[in-house]
A and B are shown apart, each in its own frame.
Chain A
Amino acid sequence: MAALFKARKALALCVNGIRRLSQLAELPETHQILRQTCRDYADRELSPIAGRLDKEHSYPGKQILDLGAMGVMAIEVPEDLGGAGMDYLAYSVAMEEISRGCASTGVVVSVNNSLYIGPILKFGTEEQKNEWITPFSTGEKVGCFALSEPGNGSDAGAASTLAHQEGDEWVLNGTKAWITNSWDASATVVFATTDKKLKHKGISAFLIPMPHPGLSLGKKEDKLGIRASSTANIILEDCRIPLSNMLGPRGAGFKIAMQTLDSGRIGIASQALGIAQASLDCAADYAHKRCAFGSPIGKLQGIQFKLADMAVAIESARLLTWKAASLRDSQKPFTKEAAMAKLAASEAATFCSHQAIQILGGMGYVTDMPAERHYRDARITEIYEGTSEIQRLVIAGQVLKEYQQ
Chain B
Amino acid sequence: MDGQAIETQGRSESLSRRARIADRPIRVKPDQSGVVTDGVKHSMNPFCEIAVEEAVKMKEKKLIKEVVAVSCGPQQAQETIRTALAMGADRGIHVEVTGKDYENLGPLQVAKIFAALAKKEEAQLVILGKQAIDDDCNQTGQMTAALLDWPQGTFASEVTMEGDKLKVVREIDGGLETIKINIPAVLTADLRLNTPRYATLPNIMKAKKKKIANMKPADLSVDIVSRLEVLKVEEPPQREAGMKVETVEDLVAKLKEGGTI
Contact = CB atoms under 8 A, between A and B. Distances in A.
Interface residues on B, range: 10 to 19
A383 interface: no
A384 interface: no
Contact of B83 (A33, A66, A90, A94): A33
A36 B201 contact: no
A309 to B, nearest CB: 24
Contacts of B82: 29, 33
Interface in B79-129: 79, 82-83, 86
A36 B198 contact: no
B86 A37 contact: yes
Interface in A81-100: 84-86, 90, 94
A337 to B, nearest CB: 24
Given A29-B82, A32-B79, A37 B204 contact: yes
B199 A33 contact: yes
Question: Looking at chain B's contact residues, is the secondary structure mostly helix, strand, loop, or mixed?
Answer: helix
B201 A75 contact: yes
Contact of B202 (A37, A41, A79): A79
A284 to B, nearest CB: 13
A26 to B, nearest CB: 13
Contacts of A389: none
B201 A84 contact: yes
Interface centre among A37, A69, A79, A85 (most CB of B within 10 A): A37
Interface in A22-58: 29-30, 32-34, 36-37, 40-41
A85 B204 contact: no
Interface string A92-112: 001000000000000000000
A259 B113 CA distance: 56
Question: Looking at chain A's contact residues, is the secondary structure mostly helix, strand, loop, or mixed?
Answer: helix
B207 interface: yes
Contact of B208 (A30, A72, A84, A90): A30
B241 to A, nearest CB: 15
A88 to B, nearest CB: 13
B138 interface: no
A86 B79 contact: no
A30 B207 contact: yes
B43 interface: yes
A79 B208 CA distance: 16
A363 interface: no
Contacts of A30: 204-205, 207-208
Given A30-B208, A33-B207, A36-B43, A71 B202 contact: yes
Contact of B86 (A33, A84, A90): A33
A37 B79 contact: no
B200 interface: yes
A32 B200 CA distance: 14
Nearest to A82: B202
Nearest to A68: B200
Contact of B201 (A29, A66, A86): A86
A137 to B, nearest CB: 11
A70 interface: yes
A84 B205 contact: yes
Contacts of A29: 79, 82, 208
Interface residues of A, number: 21
A317 B43 CA distance: 27
A79 B202 CA distance: 8
A63 to B, nearest CB: 12
A37 B205 contact: no
Contacts of A69: 200
A239 B198 CA distance: 41
A312 B258 CA distance: 53
Contacts of B208: 29-30
B234 to A, nearest CB: 23
Contacts of B43: 36
A86 B205 contact: yes
Contacts of A41: 198
B198 A40 contact: yes
Interface string B185-229: 000000000000011111011011000000000000000000000
Contacts of B205: 30, 84-86
A40 B205 CA distance: 18
B201 A90 contact: yes
Given A33-B207, A36-B43, A70 B201 contact: yes
Interface centre among B201, B202, B205, B208 (most CB of A within 10 A): B201
A132 to B, nearest CB: 21
A206 B61 CA distance: 45
Give the top 9 A-B pairs by smallest Cβ distance, nearest first. Answer: A71-B201, A84-B201, A70-B200, A71-B200, A37-B199, A41-B198, A84-B202, A33-B204, A71-B202
Interface of B: 43, 79, 82-83, 86, 198-202, 204-205, 207-208
Given A32-B79, A33-B83, A34-B201, 15 more contacts: A30-B204, A33-B79, A33-B86, A37-B86, A37-B199, A69-B200, A70-B200, A71-B202, A72-B201, A75-B201, A79-B202, A84-B200, A84-B205, A86-B201, A86-B205
30 contacts: A30-B204, A30-B207, A30-B208, A33-B79, A33-B82, A33-B86, A34-B201, A34-B204, A36-B83, A37-B86, A37-B198, A37-B204, A41-B198, A69-B200, A70-B198, A70-B199, A70-B200, A70-B201, A71-B201, A71-B202, A72-B201, A84-B200, A84-B202, A84-B205, A85-B201, A85-B202, A85-B205, A86-B205, A90-B201, A94-B201
